[in-house]
């Protein structure tokens, strides 16, 4: 599985970013870029664009408390950006909720009532948190066995089935919408459009639009990395690659537990694909034996 690399431009009208924060494909280590961004602020503490630059880097590095502090100062220095600043506060709050959910300490939110197999995945997380690994494996295995098979189609691929490569989620889409972290079974989605990265923040939370099975439209953000990526035990260069979504790694524990770090990745009958490999995708419940149609009628 190879990661996704993309150029970056500012995410708001806060002004041009200094070079250390602009390009995720840069060879400059994140720690050095952070040091340079901090030095720039010390020389120009009232420059809102420098605060925004530092905020982005801190989000990529998973330093949420510091990121919130810089976001608050940025909003004070640039009042017209108060609404985007609030949106990113909500995303950081959702990221913390997400961490508690995968640790088995909180339930994720939902768009529709959770089916029993999704409850099974959540119960498996709770059992893992309690050290009951065998029971967690049994519960997760049963949940995945009962999850509906979902077929998918993108402009490049026709897939018989798709699921998150991290078995804690299975055939579930994580999404942050209206400021809340939610789980949405793939069987409840008929199509999605994920924006390709244009800012550093898009490598953490990818803006997306989903069409749901009831015909409604849902706008929000898909987490573009797996929870805990910021705590990966790796060399500096390997950690940077994970934080910037250039790669994904997996750890297998027990019969069913596969934990991923780095870029969000889907596993399919055609192999593993990154979130941005399937940026435009249509879905159908595999039980119907219908080939999903892309929006606009393209076949």
Q: How far is Cα 74 from Cα 59, in angstroms, rounded to an integer? A: 14
Confidence of residue 20 (pLDDT cuts 50, 70, 90): very low
In a shared domain, residues 283 and 158: yes
Report yes or no on 136 lying in a domain.
no
Residue 259 lies in a domain: yes
Does 95 lie in the same domain as 161? no
- My answer on whether 187 and 275 are in the same domain is yes
Q: Say yes or no: 278 and 158 in one domain.
A: yes
pLDDT tens readout for residues 104-136: 999 999 999 999 999 999 999 999 999 999 999
- Write down the pLDDT at residue 22: 47
34, 66, 99 — which closes off a domain?
99
**Predicted confidence (pLDDT) at residue 32 exceeds the cutoff of 90:** yes
Give domain status of residue 206, yes or no: yes
Average pLDDT over residues 4-10: 28
Q: Are 205 and 222 in contact (CB under 8 A)?
A: yes
Can you give the pLDDT at residue 292? Answer: 53
Averaged pLDDT score across all residues of the chain: 89
Residue 19 has pLDDT above 60, yes or no: no
Residue 281 lies in a domain: yes
Percent of the chain with pLDDT over 70: 86
Q: Can you give the residue range of the structural domain that contains 265?
A: 149-288
Task: Quote the crossing angle between the two packed helices 133-146 and 116-129, to the nearest 10°.
Answer: 160
198-251 pLDDT, tens digit per residue, is 999 999 999 999 999 999 999 999 999 999 999 999 999 999 999 999 999 999
Please write the tens of the pLDDT for every residue from 73-82.
999 999 999 9
Q: How many domains does the chain have?
A: 2
Work out the average pLDDT over 65-84.
Answer: 97
Is there a domain that residue 269 lies in?
yes
Q: What CATH number corresponds to the domain at position 87?
A: 1.25.40.10
Determine the pLDDT at residue 11: 34
């Amino acid at each position: 599985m190879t990661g996704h690399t993309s150029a970056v431009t500012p995410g708001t009208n806060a002004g041009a970013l200094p070079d250390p924060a602009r390009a995720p494909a840069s060879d400059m280590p994140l720690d050095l870029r952070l040091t340079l961004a901090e030095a720039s602020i010390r020389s120009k503490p009232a420059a809102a664009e420098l605060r925004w630059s530092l905020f982005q880097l801190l989000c990529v590095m998973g330093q949420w408390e510091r990121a919130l502090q810089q976001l608050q100062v940025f909003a004070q220095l640039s009042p017209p950006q108060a609404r985007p600043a609030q949106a990113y506060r909500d995303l950081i709050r959702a990221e913390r909720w997400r961490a508690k959910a995968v640790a088995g300490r909180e339930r994720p939110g939902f768009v529709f009532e959770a089916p029993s197999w999704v409850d099974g995945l959540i119960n498996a997380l709770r059992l893992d948190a309690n050290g009951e690994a065998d029971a967690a494996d049994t519960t997760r295995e049963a949940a995945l066995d009962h999850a509906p098979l979902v077929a998918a189609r993108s402009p490049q691929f026709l897939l018989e089935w798709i699921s998150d490569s991290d078995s804690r989620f299975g055939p579930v889409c994580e999404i942050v919408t209206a400021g809340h972290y939610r789980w949405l079974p793939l069987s409840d989605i008929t199509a999605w459009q994920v924006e390709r990265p244009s800012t550093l923040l898009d490598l953490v939370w990818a803006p997306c639009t989903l069409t749901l099975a009831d015909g409604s439209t849902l706008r929000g953000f898909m987490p573009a990395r797996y929870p805990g990526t910021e705590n990966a035990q790796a060399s500096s260069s390997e950690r940077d690659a994970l934080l910037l979504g250039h790669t994904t790694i997996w750890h297998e524990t027990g019969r069913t537990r596969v934990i991923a770090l780095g870029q969000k990745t889907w596993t399919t009958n055609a192999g593993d694909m990154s979130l941005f490999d399937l940026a435009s995708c249509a879905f159908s419940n595999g039980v119907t034996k219908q080939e999903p149609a892309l929006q606009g009628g393209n076949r």
